Amino acid sequence: MSQALRALIVDDEFHARENLRMLIEEFCPELEVVGLADGPKQAQEQIEALNPDVLFLDIRMPSGAEGFDLIEAIENPKFQVVFVTAFKDYAIRAFQTNAVHYILKPIDIDDLLSATKKLLEYAQFFHQDKSAFDTYFEGVKRVPNAASENQTRTPERLTLFHSKGFRIAKTKEIVRLEAAGNCTLIHFEDGSSYIDTKTLKTFEELLGSQDFCRIHKSHIIQLNHLVAYDNQDGASAEMSNGDHVPIARARLQHFLKRVKEA
């Protein structure tokens, strides 16, 4: 896609809107800022008038709910959302779990460039399959509830998304995860596997410690799918799909403790 993505910036702070506009215009030629809105009401009017491809949405306007309320109010949305937040711990796990774009304030150029790259990749996919927006927005609309959930609890679903498509996965169906460079290969109980661009460390944080256990620098298993433990010729975990996963010596006691607690 050679045409620039049309972007609408929504933020109640004038200087925040202008700062983001200038950064996009200077560093992101793939984006074109077509509008600025100071709140949900003005944003809704501009969405209808301008039909943007991307919404940069502040989620603290000013009480915290307005950004999410705007998303709920839009009928049949056909744009991507980049949530913008000044709170580093606010909803980040929810964003990552649902494969939603976000950038932190103060805005780092590298973060903006990374978000832009993802926007372009997603746009290519949406261009090929318009119906995919429905599934994408399911993830967007799950963010408010996910953000308010207990951060140590394992999320029920993950949206795994890349330029060639996506999969909404029930976490109970994940047998194990393994590092694949800076990506993660996820193995499911039906025998399928899916590669996601997030690191294994990110998944360790996303999935929490309730059901999942890091047993090796390259492996995380779901304890609900553990079938057997074998300590011959090096410790390993046998999983419900038949895989045998090595357990690092340094993590063995932690693994055994978790199994006893399960």
CATH number of the domain within which 222 lies: 2.40.50.1020
Structure tokens that stand for 47 in this block:
């969405």
Q: Among 43-57, 58-72, 206-220, which is the least confidently predicted range?
A: 58-72
Give the pLDDT band of residue 102 (cuts 50, 70, 90). confident
Q: What percent of the chain has pLDDT above 70?
A: 88
The mean pLDDT value for 113-125 works out to 88
For residue 105, pLDDT beyond 90:
no
Using alpha carbons, select from 33, 149, 64, 52 the residue that is nearest to residue 98.
149
Q: Are 158 and 206 in contact (CB under 8 A)?
A: yes
Q: What is the CATH number of the domain that holds 104?
A: 3.40.50.2300
Give the pLDDT band of residue 26 (cuts 50, 70, 90). very high
Per DSSP, what are the bridge partners of residue 259? none
| pLDDT for position 261 | 83
Residues 62, 185 share a domain = no
Using alpha carbons, select from 8, 58, 229 the residue that is nearest to residue 221.
229
Average model confidence (pLDDT) across the chain? 86
Q: Are 220 and 177 in contact (CB under 8 A)?
A: yes
Residue 166 is assigned to a structural domain of this protein: no
Residues 19, 115 share a domain = yes
Residues 125, 10 share a domain = yes
The mean pLDDT value for 194-221 works out to 90
For residue 19, pLDDT beyond 70:
yes
Residue 227 is assigned to a structural domain of this protein: yes
Residues 202, 247 share a domain = yes
**Residue 224 domain boundaries:** 171-261
The mean pLDDT value for 91-109 works out to 79
